[in-house]
Amino acid sequence: MAWGLWTLELLGDLLAVVLLLGLSWLLVAYVVDRTQTQHAIRRNYPVIGRFRYWFEHLGVFFRQYFFALDREELPFNRADRSWVYRAAKNESLNVAFGSTRDIDKPGTPIFLNALIPIANEAHEPPALLTFGPDCPKPYSTRSLFNISAMSFGALSAPAVQALSQGAALAGCWLNTGEGGLSSHHLSGKCDLVFQIGTAKYGVRNDKGELDVEKLKAISALDEVKMFEIKLSQGAKPGKGGILPAEKVTPEIAATRAIPVGEASISPNSHTEVKQVGDLLDLITRVREATGKPTGIKFVLGDTRWLSELFLLISERGHQSAPDFITLDSGDGGSGAAPQPLMDTTGLPIKESLPLVVALLRKHGLKARIRVIAAGKLITPTAVATALCAGADAVNSARGFMFALGCIQAMQCNLNTCPTGVTTHNKRLQRGLVPAQKALRVAQYQRQMTESLSMIAHACGVSEPRQLCADHVRFVTRPGHSLPMLDYVLARDAEVQGSDRPAP
Give the pLDDT confidence score for residue 498 in this predicted structure. 47
pLDDT given at position 128: 95
Domain ranges of the chain: 2-67, 125-138+150-467
Give the side-chain half-sphere CA count within 13 A for 74: 4
Euclidean distance between CA atoms 53 and 49, whole angstroms = 8
Please give the biggest Cα pair distance in the chain: 101
How confident is the model at residue 493, as a pLDDT? Answer: 45
Give bridge partners of residue 370 from the DSSP assignment.
324
**How remote is the C-alpha of 201 from its chain's centroid?**
20
**First vs last C-alpha separation in the chain:** 92
Q: How far is CA 11 from CA 2, 14, 15, 17, in A?
A: 14, 5, 6, 10
List per-residue pLDDT tens for the chain, 503 residues long: 566 666 767 777 788 888 888 888 888 888 888 888 887 777 777 888 777 777 666 666 666 666 666 666 778 778 888 889 899 999 988 888 888 888 888 989 999 999 989 987 666 889 999 999 999 999 999 999 999 999 888 889 999 999 999 999 999 999 999 989 999 999 999 999 999 999 999 998 888 889 999 999 999 999 999 999 999 887 777 777 777 787 788 888 888 888 888 887 888 889 899 999 999 999 999 999 999 999 999 999 988 999 999 999 999 999 999 999 999 988 877 666 777 777 788 899 999 999 999 999 999 999 999 999 998 999 999 999 999 999 999 999 999 999 998 888 788 777 888 888 988 888 888 888 999 999 999 999 999 999 999 999 999 999 999 999 999 999 988 889 888 888 877 665 444 444 444 43
The H or E element that residue 407 is part of is none
Q: Which pLDDT score, from 0 to 100, does residue 244 have?
A: 79
pLDDT confidence of residue 446? 96
Task: Calculate helix-pair angle for 434-458, 380-388, nearest 10 degrees.
Answer: 50
Written as one string, the DSSP assignment of 71-126 is TT-SSS-HHHHHHHHHHHTT------S---S-TTSTT-EEE---SSPPPGGG--PP
For residue 499, the model assigns a pLDDT of: 45
Describe the crossing of helices 276-290 and 304-316 by its angle, rounded to 10 degrees. 60
- The pLDDT value recorded for residue 95 is 81
**Region 125-138+150-467: CATH code:** 3.20.20.70
Question: What pLDDT, on the 0 to 100 scale, is given for residue 62?
Answer: 62
Report the C-alpha gap between 485 and 492 in whole angstroms. 11
- Predicted pLDDT at 2: 61
